[in-house]
Homo-oligomer: A and B are copies of this chain.
Amino acid sequence: MGADPLAALLPLIKCNIQNISAKGLAGALTGPAERNDVNTVRKHLDLLDGKERAVYILLTEKLAELAGEKHQERDYSELLTLLKDNR
C-alpha cells in the first residue's frame, strides 16, 4: 500500500463512517461481501495470514449475514461456506 497505509485508509474509513451515519449499517454496506463476490473474497484470503486473516474471516461473515438480510433474493451460501471452511 505504499509508504503510509494509514494515510491511504483514513479517507476511506471517514467516508464509511459518514455513510453509516447517513444510511445506517445495512444501507451503507458495500464491497465484495455485499456484492456476493466470492472470487474477490477468495483472493483476499490468499493474501492474508495470521490474526489479520482470522479477523477478516470473522468480520466478513458478519457482513455477509447483514447483506443476506438486506438482499433476501441473493444466495450468500457459497460465500458463507468459503469463510467457514477457512476459519
A residues at B contact (CB < 8 Å):
6, 10, 13-14, 17, 20-21, 24-25, 51, 54-55, 58-59, 61-62
Contacts and interface: CB of A to CB of B under 8 A. Distances in A.
A4 to B, nearest CB: 10
18 contacts: A6-B20, A6-B24, A6-B25, A10-B17, A10-B20, A10-B21, A13-B17, A14-B17, A17-B17, A51-B58, A51-B61, A51-B62, A54-B54, A54-B58, A55-B55, A55-B58, A55-B59, A58-B58
Q: How many copies does the complex hold?
A: 2
A8 to B, nearest CB: 13
Contacts of A54: 54, 58
